[in-house]
C-alpha cells in the first residue's frame, strides 16, 4: 500500500519493473534520424577482432561497452544539444574541464568529460564526451528522468559530436537493448528504438579549397551552415556527402559532368570514380575533388550514386565576370548563405565594428542587389535578403568591409 501511494504521488520514480529495474527515457533531446543517429551498440562478443550487437548484427566495434548517439555536425553541437538523465537518480560524478572538439580517436583520452548517475537497483548510467563547462548538475543532486544534465560534445576519445551512454549493474556492463543476442535481458527502454540498418543521407554539398581537403575540413564546413562554399580563385572543388547505413559490398560512384551555361545540350560526363566499400559504416563521410575548371560560362554537376541509384546532386557555374573584386578576404573571414533565415552571414574576427557593403551580381554580370550593415564587436554581421527579388541560384558577391574589398560566390536558395 505504501509503494502504491508513492507511485501515485511520484509517478516518475516508479517507471521501473517489479524487480526494481529502472526504465530509461532517451538521453539526448531531439528526434532519431533527424537530429541524431544511433551508430554503435554494446559489443557482446568477447573474442578479439569479432563483434556482435544485441540484434546479432555488427553495429558496434570491438570491446564497445555503450551506445553511441551521434549528432549531424559540429555546427549542431555548437547550437547546444542537451543531454538528459535517463531515469531518476542521484549524481555521483561530474567532469567537464577537457577539450571538447576532438576529431581523432585517441583511446587514452577516455570519456574526456562525463557525468555518472546512480539509480535504484544498483544501476549506474554514464554520459560521456560532453561539452566542456556544460554540466548543469552537481555531485549529490537528485534528478528526474528527462532532467537536462549537460550538452553533447566531442571530448575524450571521440571523432564526432556524440553521447556515449553506458549502463552498469554494480561491476557488470548492461546492454539496455533487448534482442536475440542479448538473451535473458529485458529492454531498459520505455520505448526501445527499432533496429535499423537502412541507408540514408545526412548532408551533402560543394566546397572549394587550395589544397586537398581532409576529413577535418569536411567535418567543419557544415558547422557554419555553408553547404556550398565556393571561391573560384581556389585550386580545387570538392563534392562531399555525409551518410549512414553503408554496408560492405556497396558501391559508391561519383560522376562529374559539364555543359555550357546557355546551351540546351545534355551534360557530358568528364570524370567518374567508383569505390567498393569493404566494411559496414553507420556514420560515414565520402568526398571527391577535381581541379577548378577554367572554362568560364560552363555549368558543372556532381552526382553521387550508391549501388547505381542516384542519391545526391550538386552543381555550380563558372561565371564569366570581370567586375567582381578579386582581392583576398581578411584573414579568418567566412561568408555564407543561411537558407533558414534567408540572409548572408559574415564572420570576420579581424573586422569588428566596421561598415559592410554587399553587392550581388547574377551570372551575366548584372548588379541585382546592394545591402549594407555593420559588424558587431566580434566581427559578425547578418545581411538580410528579406524583400529582395532574387531567384534561387549562384551569385557573385562583392563585399566591402571597411576599406577592404573582395569577391566570392554565394548560393541563394
Question: Is the pLDDT reported for residue 335 higher than 50?
Answer: yes
**What mean pLDDT comes out for the span 362-383?**
84
Quick one: 160 and 211 in the same domain?
no
Domain count within the chain: 3
Quick one: 253 and 377 in the same domain?
no
Q: Which cell numbers in the block locate residue 132?
A: 566542456
> What CATH number is attached to the domain comprising 344?
2.60.40.3080
pLDDT confidence tier of residue 130, bands split at 50, 70 and 90: very high
Quick one: 373 and 245 in the same domain?
no
pTM: 0.74
392 or 306, which is more confident?
306
Indicate the range of 306-310, 316-320, 326-330 predicted with least confidence.
326-330
> What CATH number is attached to the domain comprising 212?
2.60.40
Nearest to 234 by CA among 314, 329, 315, 321: 329
Average pLDDT, the chain: 87
Quick one: 299 and 342 in the same domain?
no
Q: What is the dihedral of CA 366, 368, 372, 373, to 10 degrees?
A: -110
The answer to the question of residue 31 being in a domain is yes
The answer to the question of residue 140 being in a domain is yes
pLDDT confidence tier of residue 325, bands split at 50, 70 and 90: very low
Percent of the chain surpassing pLDDT 90: 58
pLDDT at 217: 84
Quick one: 299 and 399 in the same domain?
no
Domain of residue 227: give its range. 200-317
The residues, ordered by sequence, that sit 6+ positions from 30 with a Cβ below 8 Å of its Cβ are 36, 81
pLDDT at 321: 52
Q: Which cell numbers in the block locate residue 225?
A: 551552415
Quick one: 53 and 113 in the same domain?
yes
Condensed to tens digits (0 to 9), the pLDDT of residues 74-108 reads 989 999 999 999 999 999 999 999 999 999 999 99
Quick one: 137 and 262 in the same domain?
no
Indicate the range of 122-136, 249-263, 383-397 predicted with least confidence.
383-397
332-338 long-range CB contacts below 8 Å, 24 or more apart?
333/401, 333/406, 334/224, 334/226, 334/229, 335/229, 335/397, 335/399, 335/408, 335/410, 336/224, 336/225, 336/226, 336/229, 336/410, 337/226, 337/410, 337/411, 337/412, 337/413, 338/225, 338/382
pLDDT at 319: 65
Cα(173)–Cα(175) distance, integer angstroms: 7
Quick one: 152 and 22 in the same domain?
yes
Quick one: 51 and 149 in the same domain?
yes
Amino acid at each position: 500500500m505504501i509503494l502504491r501511494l508513492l507511485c501515485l504521488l511520484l509517478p516518475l520514480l516508479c517507471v521501473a519493473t517489479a524487480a526494481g529495474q529502472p526504465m530509461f527515457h532517451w538521453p539526448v533531446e531531439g528526434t532519431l534520424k533527424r537530429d541524431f543517429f544511433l551508430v554503435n551498440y554494446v559489443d557482446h562478443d568477447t573474442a578479439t577482432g569479432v563483434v556482435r550487437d544485441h540484434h546479432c548484427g555488427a553495429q558496434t566495434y570491438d570491446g564497445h561497452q555503450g551506445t553511441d548517439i551521434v549528432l549531424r555536425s559540429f555546427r549542431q553541437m555548437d547550437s547546444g544539444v542537451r543531454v538528459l538523465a535517463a531515469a531518476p537518480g542521484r549524481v555521483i560524478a561530474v567532469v567537464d574541464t577537457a577539450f571538447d572538439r576532438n576529431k581523432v580517436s585517441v583511446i587514452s583520452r577516455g570519456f574526456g568529460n562525463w557525468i555518472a548517475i546512480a539509480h535504484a537497483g544498483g544501476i549506474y548510467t554514464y554520459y560521456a564526451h560532453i561539452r566542456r563547462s556544460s554540466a548543469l548538475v552537481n555531485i549529490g543532486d537528485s534528478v528526474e528522468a528527462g532532467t537536462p544534465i549537460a550538452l553533447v560534445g566531442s571530448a575524450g576519445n571521440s571523432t564526432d559530436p556524440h553521447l556515449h551512454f553506458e549502463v552498469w549493474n554494480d561491476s557488470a556492463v548492461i546492454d539496455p537493448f533487448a534482442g536475440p543476442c542479448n538473451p535473458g535481458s529485458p529492454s531498459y527502454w520505455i520505448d526501445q528504438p527499432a533496429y535499423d540498418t537502412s541507408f540514408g543521407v545526412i548532408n551533402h554539398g560543394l566546397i572549394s579549397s587550395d589544397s586537398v581537403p581532409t576529413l577535418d575540413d569536411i567535418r567543419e564546413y557544415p558547422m557554419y551552415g555553408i553547404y556550398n562554399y565556393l571561391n573560384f580563385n581556389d585550386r580545387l572543388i570538392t563534392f562531399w556527402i555525409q551518410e549512414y547505413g553503408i554496408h560492405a559490398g556497396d558501391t559508391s560512384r561519383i560522376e562529374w559532368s559539364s555543359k555550357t551555361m546557355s546551351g540546351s545540350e545534355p551534360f557530358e560526363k568528364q570524370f567518374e570514380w567508383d569505390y567498393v566499400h569493404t566494411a559496414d559504416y553507420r556514420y560515414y563521410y565520402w568526398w571527391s575533388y577535381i581541379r577548378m575548371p577554367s572554362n568560364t560560362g560552363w555549368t558543372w554537376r556532381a552526382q553521387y550514386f550508391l549501388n547505381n541509384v542516384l542519391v545526391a546532386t550538386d552543381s555550380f557555374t563558372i561565371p564569366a565576370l570581370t567586375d567582381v573584386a578579386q582581392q583576398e578576404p581578411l584573414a579568418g573571414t567566412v561568408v555564407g548563405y543561411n537558407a533558414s533565415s534567408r540572409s548572408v552571414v559574415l564572420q570576420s574576427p579581424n573586422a569588428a565594428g566596421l561598415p559592410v557593403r554587399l553587392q550581388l551580381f547574377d551570372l551575366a554580370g548584372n548588379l541585382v542587389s546592394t545591402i549594407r550593415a555593420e559588424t558587431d564587436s566580434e566581427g559578425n554581421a547578418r545581411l538580410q535578403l528579406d524583400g529582395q527579388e532574387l531567384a534561387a541560384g549562384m551569385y557573385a558577391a562583392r563585399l566591402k568591409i571597411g576599406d577592404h574589398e573582395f569577391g566570392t560566390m554565394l548560393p541563394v536558395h
